[in-house]
Amino acid sequence: MDWVVDSSMALAWSLPDETSAKADRFLSRLSAQDALWVPALWWYEISNALVTAQRRRRVTEADRLGLLELFGKLPLQTDTGLNPEMMWHVQAMAQEHDLSAYDAAYLELAARKGLALATLDQRLMTAARDSGVRLA
């Protein structure tokens, strides 16, 4: 099965102080046939979170580099097909559900591809339910 996965879920797999039983269960159920779809901004969010974690001494440089390697081994598919119409949909979803445009990008991707959304963000989960997007 394919999923859209947001940065909150991925960071719970990797940062030692952001653990989640839900995230661990999700990761343990992934199979070789599964794909994890992410909007292009996911890579920036993950990079920023890891750099910030290192600066705050939550992880070492070796940890940060190892986590980047781990993310590189996940079955990630980056949605790069950006266009003005898609951005209109992202902004409309952000307005409708009181989300940031960043969070709305995950919701838009899941809705457009008809995929379930894997997130730990409560506001995003509520928006997904209200939009008819399945949750992991």
Q: What domains sit in the chain, N to C, each tagged with a CATH number?
A: 2-131 (3.40.50.1010)
Residue 81 token pair: 């097909």
Q: What is the pLDDT of residue 73?
A: 87
Which residues lie across from 16 on neighbouring strands?
A: none
- pLDDT tens digits, 92-133: 999 999 999 999 999 999 999 999 999 999 999 999 999 999
- For 18-24, what is the mean pLDDT? 89
Q: What is the pLDDT of residue 17?
A: 86
Q: What is the pLDDT of residue 109?
A: 97
Q: What is the pLDDT of residue 2?
A: 96
- pLDDT tens digits, 32-49: 899 999 999 999 999 999
Sign of the dihedral through C-alpha 9, 13, 16, 19:
positive
From start to end of 18-104, where are the E strands?
Answer: 35-39, 76-79
Residue 73 CA to residue 98 CA, distance in Å, equals: 33
Distances (CA, A) of 9 to 2, 117, 122: 15, 10, 12
- For 84-99, what is the mean pLDDT? 95
Q: What is the pLDDT of residue 84?
A: 92
Q: What is the mean pLDDT of the chain?
A: 94
Q: What is the pLDDT of residue 124?
A: 98
